[in-house]
Every structure is written in C-alpha cells, then in structure tokens.
Amino acid sequence: MGELDNPVIVDFPLRGEWVAPNTPARKVPSHGTDMLGQRYAYDFFRTGGRKGMHFFKGSDLRYWLMGISASSCYCWKEDVYAPFDGEVVLAKDGLRERGRLHPVLDILSVVRNSIVLNIKALLKGPENIDLHFLTGNHVILKHDNVYAFFAHLHPNSITVKAGQIVHEGDVMGKVGHTGNSTAPHLHFQLMDSVDPFITKGIPCAFKTYEACEDGVWKPVRNGIPKYNEKIRYAK
C-alpha cells in the first residue's frame, strides 16, 4: 500500500484555475524535505491561461533582466478559503511583502533565510525560533487531529484570528509573497501537530475539482493534482 493511498480528503482552498509546481503526485517529499511537516505539501499559483509555468504577465526576458512586480503575478491577492470546518489555532500577519520579483534575488533570499534558520536553531534551540520570517504570514486551522497550514499570505489580508470557528468555504486571507517565497503562491499542507518542529505531514487529496486534459475539463473526485496539471475548483 502506497503512502498516498489513504489521504485525508478536504475541499480545494482556492477558486479559479491553478497549477501545482510542487505536489506529492510528482515526488515525496514534495519539497525535498520532511522538516516542518512539508512531506506532502502543495504549492499553487495561476498561469492566466498561458502554457507551462508562466505565472506572471509579461515576457520571460523582462523577468530575468529587470524583474517584475508582485502585482503582475496572476494569483497575487487571490482569496484563500477554509477547506473544512474547524478552529483557527494560529493566525500570524504583519510581515511585509517584497514588492518586486527577480529570480536571482529571490533565490538568494530563500538561501539567506535558510542559513539564518540553521544559525538560530544552533544558538537558541529550535523551540525558541519564531518562523514568521520563513513561513511568511500564515494561518493554521484545526479539525479533530488534522491541522491545515496556509503560508506566504499577503500582508494584512488575514481575516481570521486564533480561537475563531470557521466553516468550509470561508475566506481566511489572500495569496501573497511573504517569507521564503520566490513568487506569489499558496503553500498548503496538512500535518498532525501545531508544533512545526515535531509535526509530521499528512497526505491530502481534494474532494472535487476539474482537471484540463487535452483542452477538455474533466471532473476529479478525491484527487491529488499532478505536476503542471491545470485544475480548477468545482463544487
């Protein structure tokens, strides 16, 4: 029996058309590590109908030479929705967003933050680290023993607070570019604990969505989106 054969089924947390550059359907761990519960994590962004992984308006040449604004990315400030009924156990906002993207500078920022994390862990111990600079603005939602984690949200967009009960489909925030992010996107994962240093990832599938196959939208139930597969919310 494969480790993805019995996932927890939740509602898709976004609306409109999306692709997943990182998904457990492609590899496990999906982000190359089990740390911080990321074993089965997803990243989602929009392509605006363009082919491949073009997540922004404008030319690739401009992106590589001059950079682009975060606002030119198709998914920037898109709403993020609760995938199940639950209690908000953590909602952390207020981290500023980098207004411009450049592939080299963004990768250097990710590397720098990773180095800072390791240094802080050595000096202070992992239990004393505030991960806000790494995860960006984020929300953790709990139902029974399952915790849903939403990272890199847009500054001052989080509409929920710790202790609040939310229902499936409620808006909780907006897609952003905070923390260890190379472009606006939603990082989404399920895990078994709120503590990032002991938590383990939980396999996750989405109960209903549509996938585009040869230009035709086909319904999918309890599915795990494939790499670069164009998908959209369906109720």
| CATH value at residue 173 | 2.70.70.10
CA–CA separation, 170 and 150 (whole Å): 14
Q: Is the pLDDT of residue 131 over 90?
A: no
- The answer to whether position 15 is within a domain reads no
- The answer to whether position 10 is within a domain reads no
CA–CA separation, 148 and 200 (whole Å): 12
- The answer to whether position 12 is within a domain reads no
Contacts of 118 (CB under 8 A, 6+ apart): none
Query: CA-CA-CA-CA torsion for 179, 182, 184, 188, nearest 10 degrees?
Result: -70
- Spatial contact of 227 and 20, defined as CB atoms under 8 Å apart: yes
The per-residue pLDDT for range 174-183, each reduced to its tens digit, is 999 999 999 9
Mean predicted confidence (pLDDT) in 145-153: 97
- The answer to whether position 226 is within a domain reads no
Q: What is the CA radius of gyration of the chain?
A: 17
- The answer to whether position 66 is within a domain reads yes
Domain count, the chain: 1
> Domain of 172?
29-198
- The answer to whether position 103 is within a domain reads yes
- The answer to whether position 135 is within a domain reads yes
CA–CA separation, 171 and 141 (whole Å): 12
The chain-wide mean pLDDT, for the chain, equals: 92
pTM above 0.85, yes or no: yes
- The answer to whether position 16 is within a domain reads no
